[in-house]
Amino acid sequence: MSLPPQIPDPETPWIDIVFLGGLGEIGLNMMVFESAESLIIIDAGIMFPEDYMLGIDVVIPDFSYIRERGPKVAALVLTHGHEDHIGAVPFLLKEMPMPVYGTPLTLELLKEKLKEHRLLEQAELRLIQPRQRLAIGPFEFDFIRVAHSIVDGVGFALATPVGTFIHSGDFKIDQTPMSGEVTDLNRFAGYGEKGVLALLSDSTNAERPGYTMSERDIGETLENLFREASGRIIIAVFASHIPRLQQIVQLAAKFDRKLLFNGKSMTINVRIAKELGYLKIPPEQEISVSQLKHLPDAEVVIVTTGSQGEPMSALARIALDSHKHIHIKAGDLVILSSKFIPGNEKAISTVINNLYRLGAEVVYEEVADIHVSGHASQEELKLLINLTKPQYFIPIHGELRHLIKHTQIAQCLGIAAERVLLAHNGSRLRFTAGSGRVVDQVEVGRVFVDGKGVGDVSQIVLRDRRHLAEDGLVIALVAVDAQEGKIISGPDLVSRGFVFEEEQTPMLNTAREIIQEIVSRALTEPTQDWLEIQIQIGKALRKYFFKLLERRPMILPLVLTL
């Protein structure tokens, strides 16, 4: 249970900000603005599973805090359409239907997810646009355009009874974006002149000095690669990166190449972006898989998913030569037009090595400038702070080192240390007129999604999965007739992932003797506690296997009584 808010005076207006995910980690972004009568949720994102989360599909935030305040929940507001901001929305709406506000592309991407979860018909989706004002309870939003690696991103100014909050969204200050969507600095500066109580700002690139490169800056690198390629070009890119896709379309046209879009999310996002007018592709430039074999290699560009080495992605299957239609051939140039997200390095390296093994040439971020970040670097972060001139500063979105570096940047610009609020997941920040502080910690956590199961996989289950994966399993089975006092079947041992049984017969025979001795001794007793005897068998086998091999397999002893 979360701690109740400490309200010093019921007559004093207050606003709480509670972080339910996205601080000290990449992904899982979710926070709330809460007053005495209303609660607004900002984003509901997922995190992709880490290595130790065996069998887990995605990770979503724990909704307990919101669940406890159900009647107060007024709406969900989405800043943009990336998975780490909208991926958990279907799971949230299954529990608590509510109005969802988002920009055109954000809502269209969300609709595809809601279709998969059979929630689209009952979903209440409401369109917003930059510079649109929206009143929900005591909150008044003013949405502000920001440049990012996906179009239709927004931050916002939030007017409340205690003051104005600025939320940057995921942003960078790109003066020449491919999409033409520049960050609306005038709007941010206008609020700085009026007075900003607190600025919540994206910290993802707080370690990087200078400015983030413009999307157009990689155009020269990509153009040179297109010019020099003599065979097919296969480009792996985030399916949501519409500006990058438009660059590829333009280069393909310049070098007389046809385009094949491959991968489920890629084809869906391309369709949506074309329908909204964000992606312009001449119809004659696109080809289908069936047309691929009829074109010379020098006239083909394949745009696919899988830039992070995802096991079931199109590029991963191509690299394993298991794709149904696309097979690597000598002369192919593969471009991974994305950065290596921390944690994915090994998977990406495996894909790169497999592509080389099949005869392709591979270009990636370590050998060429083929990707730029969608997040602001230090000088841009400083500019936003100076424009908005907040009384309080709160770094958001990023690992702990990013948040701490961002606090240092704010302090270097003259914001007093006591007015820089370093929050963590679960932090509740209380603001009254002209003041703010961290007041307590609420219960937060991660919920694992495994297939159709949501939250039914615990840390204990993950521990068992790791145990099985690392050490294997030994099942010890014996059947006894307790009344006759004899063993009627077994002991039998089944080993999986521990030792190859036929090669370890002497060791397993000794293990059977250990089991037989324990069971035979128990059968001579007037009464038997067979659960306790199973525990004894497990302990004895663990001790024996560790002494012999220094391994700790999971032991599953079963005594069947007749």
Q: Hey, which residues are catalytic here?
A: 202, 375
In angstroms, the CA 557 to CA 538 distance is: 6
In angstroms, the CA 126 to CA 242 distance is: 22
Which candidate, 550, 236, 167, 199, places its Cα nearest to that of 394?
199
| SS3 category, 267 | helix
In angstroms, the CA 451 to CA 126 distance is: 29
Strands 163-167 and 154-160 come out as: antiparallel
Instruction: Classify burial at 26, counting beta carbons within 10 Å of its beta carbon; exposed 0-12, middle 13-18, buried 19 or more.
Output: middle
In angstroms, the CA 69 to CA 66 distance is: 5
E strand residue ranges, 233-347: 233-236, 258-262, 300-304, 333-336
Which candidate, 292, 298, 288, 241, places its Cα nearest to that of 266?
241
CB 190: neighbour CB atoms within 10 A?
Answer: 15
In angstroms, the CA 109 to CA 106 distance is: 5
Check: CB of residue 14 under 8 Å from CB of residue 162. yes
- Is the torsion defined by CA of 261, 266, 271, 276 positive or negative? negative
